[in-house]
Structure 1
Amino acid sequence: MDTRERLIQSTRELLWERGYVGMSPKAIQERSGAGQGSMYHHFRGKPDLALAAIDRSAGEMRDRAETAFTGSGTVIERVAAYLRRERDALKGCPVGRLTQDPDVMADPGLSAPIERTFAWLTDRLAGLLAQGREDGELDASLDPATTATALVAVLQGGYVLARAAGSAEVYAQAVEGALGLLAGHVRQP
């Protein structure tokens, strides 16, 4: 891994662990093994480096979701594959946790990739659910947009509940509960 990549990866980890304020240039340099000159050679400063890290985390989140969404199976099976994929529920979502960071959300440049990622995720899920409705897999009473929003909220809320309880099982229960509600809209052949 080259210096630029080590800086981005270290920043991603520190953002997830400590938030924007707790992510000092010195901590980034120590974790990455890069010197101050190298850091400022690749990035204009902390905000520029944070943006690169947020963009990377958001891109990876979209890529993992897209892999599940374009996999094989019915719409419900693909949505379930996304919801059930392995996650570190107690650590939380590396993108979603940033919404609780006032310094990130106060900066339009830093918050933009977060907003875009959740909008993309909600729209992508809504599109899948609409496809399921059109294909006759899901009944016509299902509202794809509101259901997609609820599914994203279940994931993000599941992280919060799991962290509060100190148990990943709480996250799994939230996911299974959402899938149970969604199963009520599956049309029987």
Structure 2
Amino acid sequence: MDKISDAKDRLIEGTRQLLWDRGYLGTSPTAILRRSGVGQGSMYHHFGGKPDLVLAAERRSAELMQAQIREIFTGEGTGLQRIVAYLLLERDVLRGCSVGRLAGDPEIIADEALREPVRDTFGVLNHHLTEAITEAQAAGELDARLRPEQTAAALAALVQGGYALARAEQSVNPFERAVHGALDLLGVPGRRQ
């Protein structure tokens, strides 16, 4: 039984990595088999085809990102400290976001089932950011005039846009400038670069 679930897990993880690097079209069954190191029979034993496997891989990426979000926003610190922790999180900036990159993939966006893990993950992020912003306002850490949901959406967009700018320049500098600009706008002291 372990060998079977190991093959399934390797298929999901291999597909997840390929989606992150190449997108839907670049994630061919041949590339999946090569990356995962399992045979074709195993792939079709566990999954009805590429769309089923891609959905499982997307769900894994979504679960990982959502777990990371929850860990940050349910952890120690004030609302503002958790927002700062999210913004300053160590990331593989040039690779981009494993979930956010899928939002730019036409094949994924055109399919409701494939789009769902992406939408749900950003819903979780927006929820936690909104709560942290509201908490930070109540504690006097953030300007009371900020609209929490809109500010949360802006911060999420800033991180995702920062990835795109960094990839375009093949440098982490645009991402870091964007994050530090957001910290400046939020009035976070001592974060100048």
> TM-score category by the smaller chain?
over 0.9
Residues 38-77 of structure 1 mapped to structure 2, 5 A cutoff: 38-77=42-81
Which position in structure 2 is the counterpart of 1:134?
Answer: 138
Which position in structure 2 is the counterpart of 1:111?
Answer: 115
Which position in structure 2 is the counterpart of 1:32?
Answer: 36
Instruction: Map Cα deviations across residues 70-122 of structure 1 (whole Å, 9 max, x no partner).
Output: 22122111111111111111111111111111001101110011011112211
Correspondence 1:14 to 2:18: yes
Q: Structure 2: any 5+ residue segments left out of the alignment?
A: 189-193
What is the deviation of 1:17? 1.3
Instruction: Map Cα deviations across residues 117-176 of structure 1 (whole Å, 9 max, x no partner).
Output: 112211210111112222333232111011000000000000011011111121111111
Q: Structure 1: any 5+ residue segments left out of the alignment?
A: 185-189
Write the distance in 2 (CA, Å) between the matches of 1:25 and 1:31. Answer: 10
* SS of aligned partner of 2:173: helix
Instruction: Map Cα deviations across residues 37-82 of structure 1 (whole Å, 9 max, x no partner).
Output: 1111111110110001001101111111111112212211111111
**Matched residue pairs, number?**
185
| Among candidates 4, 9, 15, match of residue 8 of structure 2 | 4
Correspondence 1:87 to 2:81: no
Write the distance in 2 (CA, Å) between the matches of 1:37 and 1:169. Answer: 45
Q: What is the TM-score normalised by the length of structure 2?
A: 0.91
RMSD across aligned positions (CA): 1.5
Sequence identity (%): 53
Q: What is the TM-score normalised by the length of structure 1?
A: 0.93
